[in-house]
Amino acid sequence: MEWPDLRDAHLWITRSVWGNVVNPPKTRKSQAAVPIIRQLAERLEMHRLRCGNPQVGPIFANSLGSRLNLNNLLSRSMLPALNRCQVCGLSEGKAHLKAKEPHDYKRDERIPQWHGWHACRRGLASNLNRLGVDDSVIQRILRHSQISVTQSCYIKTTDSDVRGAMQKIEENIDAETAARSLRDSNRTVISDSGAMPQSIN
C-alpha cells in the first residue's frame, strides 16, 4: 500500500506485490476499493503524522524508505513478541538462552499464536458473518470472484457459534410452546390468558 492509495475513506487496490515483484492485481474484482473503518483510518493518519506527513511512498516503509518486507517484520518483531517463555517472559532463541536462571523454553499459551497473514482475511470474514452481514457483501469486501470461495475458505465457525445457533432454536421452541399453551385446540385464545388472537374473523 502507498499513501496515494489511501483516500476517500477507502484503500484503493492498485498492485499485487510478492517479495520484490510488483504486478497488477490478479483480477478486475481484486482492484475494487476497500472501505476502511474509522478506527483504522484514525490510526493510519496518526502513523502518517509520525512519519512526517508524507503524501507519496509506501505506507509502511523500512529504514531506507523502501517498501517494508513483511516476512522480515514477522521474524524480527512479531514472532519474538508472540513466542515468549512462560517462565522468564523472554522470546524464544538467543534472548531466552541469556536468562539468569537456566530452564527449558515453554511457550506462554496465554499469548495468541501466529496463523499467517491470511488469517487476517479469514478473521474479517468470520467476524462479519457472525455480525449478520450477508455473505455476498463479505465476498465484495474481500474481492473474491466467487461467493463459494468466501463461504468455503474464509468464513469459519467456532464452537460458540454452534452453541449460539442451538440456543436460538431452544429459545424459539420455548416461545412457540408458551404461545400454544395459551390457546385451545381450535386456536382460540383462552380467556384470561393475556394472549392476543392471531387474527380477527
77-134 tens-digit pLDDT: 999 999 999 988 888 887 888 778 888 899 999 999 999 888 888 999 999 998 889 9
Look at residue 16 and tell me whether its pLDDT is greater than 60.
Answer: yes
pLDDT attached to residue 164: 79
| 91-97-99-100 Cα dihedral, nearest 10 degrees | 180
Q: What SS3 class is residue 20? A: coil
> Over the stretch 150-192, which tens digit does the pLDDT of each residue have?
888 888 887 777 787 788 888 888 788 777 766 555 555 555 5
CA–CA gap between residue 40 and residue 37 (Å, rounded): 6
pLDDT attached to residue 186: 57
Nearest Cα to Cα of residue 84 among 104, 107, 65: 107
Band (201; pLDDT cuts 50, 70, 90): very low
Q: Exposure of 139 by Cβ count < 10 A (0-12 exposed, 13-18 middle, 19+ buried)?
A: buried
pLDDT attached to residue 48: 94
pLDDT attached to residue 5: 92
Calculate mean pLDDT across residues 1-17: 87
Kindly report whether the global pTM for this prediction surpasses the value 0.75.
Answer: no
Is residue 189 a contact partner of residue 195, using CB atoms and an 8 Å limit?
yes
Between residues 40 and 180, which one has the greater pLDDT?
40
Between residues 200 and 111, which one has the greater pLDDT?
111
Alpha helices in the chain (DSSP H): 38-50, 70-73, 79-82, 94-97, 118-130, 135-142, 147-149, 159-181
Count each helix (H run) and each strand (E run) in the chain, helices first.
8, 5
Band (23; pLDDT cuts 50, 70, 90): confident
